Amino acid sequence: MKKALLASIISMFAMAMFLMLYLYLALPRLRPPADITVSQTPEQVERGRYLAEFVILCNDCHSKRDWSVYGGPAISPVVAGRECLTSDVKIVGVRVKDDNVQGVLCVRNLTPEKHSGLGKWSDGEIIRATREGVDRQGHGLFPIMPYAVYRALSNEDAEALVAYMRQLKPVKSIWIDKEIEFPMDLLTQLWPRPLRWPVPAPDRSQSVPYGGYLAAIARCEYCHTKRRKYGRDLAPEGRYAGGVLFEVEGKQLYSTNLTPHESGLKNISREEFIAMFKSYSEPRPVPPEGNTPMNWSAYASMTEEDLGAIYDYLRTRRPVDTSSN
C-alpha cells in the first residue's frame, strides 16, 4: 500500500515537472515578426508623435515623471526608460494589487540606442512587441506593458509609432535583463497571443466607432474598468464605470465613472467634456488632496475632434450606477 502510494506521488510529481518543462519550452505562443520597413514620412512621424505623446502616452511608463506637477508629466528625455522595478520599489500610479515586482524589471528605453533601447530591433519586432507582448528574443513581456490593449492598434497607427521612435535621439539608460520569480514568470509566458490578421484603420469620419478606438488605445477602458477577481480580463458588467484602485505617493484613489449615468457623465455636455481636458493645457500645482496618475496635461493636447469622438462613444455605453460606491 505504501509503495503504491509512493509510486503514485512520484508519478504525479514527474507529470507536474514534465508539464512545467513543456510550458516553459512551448510558450509564449508567437509568430515571426512582420518583414516590414516603415516609411518615415513627415506625416507618419507626426501621427506617431501625436499618438505616443498625447493618446497612447508611451511617455507615462517609459519616462521619468515630475510628480511635483499635477498629473505627473513626463520629464525629458521622454521614452528613454526609467528606474528598474523590484519588490522594494513602488510603481507610481499602477493598480495597488499589481504594484510589487517579484524580481527585477527594467522599463524599456524606446529611443534607437543599441543596448538599452530599440536600436537593434527591426520594425516588425517593435510592432509585434507592442501588440502581441513578445520581445525580439521571443520571450513574453511583463504584463505591466498593456499589449492586450494595443492589439486594437491599427497597422497604420502601429507603423506611425515606429516612425516616431526611429527619429528620436538615441539616449543611453539602465538596462538589466528581467528576472521574474515563479509563478509570474510562467504567466508572463502564458498570456501573449499572436495577432494573425491585419487591424484596419478606423474611419475617422464615424465619430462613435472612432471614439471607441481612441478610448481603447488611450487606455480609458483599461483604467476605468474593474478586472475580474482572478485574472486580467475586464469585467463586462462594469465597463467604463471606474472604481479601479490606484496609488500615488502613498495615497489610494479610484478611477471615475465614465458611463452616461448621473454618477458618471450624464450631466456633462460634449463641450464641457472637451473644455475639461483643455483646461489642463497649462501645468497645475498639486492640490491639497493629492496627485493623480492620469496625465491630464498630455491628454489636453489631443484634438477637440478626438476628445469629442471619445465623448460620443462613451455616451453609447450602458449606464452604471456607482453612487453607492
List pLDDT tens digits, range 212-232.
Answer: 999 999 999 999 998 765 455
Tell me the average pLDDT across 144-151: 92
Tell me the average pLDDT across 124-131: 97
Q: Which region among 37-41, 78-82, 305-309 has the lowest average model confidence (pLDDT)?
A: 78-82
Domain boundaries, the chain: 42-190, 207-314
Task: Tell me what pLDDT residue 152 has.
Answer: 96
Q: Using the predicted structure, report yes or no on whether residue 307 has a pLDDT greater than 90.
A: yes
SS (H, E, C) the chain: CHHHHHHHHHHHHHHHHHHHHHHHHHCCCCCCCCCCCCCCCHHHHHHHHHHHHHHCCHHHHHCCECCCECCCCECCCCCCCCCCEECCCCCCCCEHHHCCCCEEECCCCCCCCCCCCCCCCCHHHHHHHHHHCECCCCCECCCCCCHHHHCCCCHHHHHHHHHHHHCCCCCCCCCCCCEECCCHHHHHHHCCCCCCCCCCCCCCCCHHHHHHHHHHHCCHHHHHCCECCCCCCECHHHCCCCCCEEEECCEEEECCCCCCCCCCCCCCCHHHHHHHHHCCCCCCECCCCCCCCCCHHHHCCCCHHHHHHHHHHHCCCCCCCCCCC
Task: Tell me what pLDDT residue 96 has.
Answer: 41
Tell me the average pLDDT across 72-89: 83
Q: How confident is the model at residue 185 (pLDDT cuts 50, 70, 90)?
A: confident
Tell me the average pLDDT across 127-151: 93
Share of the chain above pLDDT 70, in %: 84
Share of the chain above pLDDT 90, in %: 61
What digits encode the pLDDT tens for the residues 234-251? 666 789 999 888 888 778
Q: Using the predicted structure, report yes or no on whether residue 180 has a pLDDT greater than 50.
A: yes
Task: Tell me what pLDDT residue 12 has.
Answer: 59
Task: Tell me what pLDDT residue 97 has.
Answer: 46
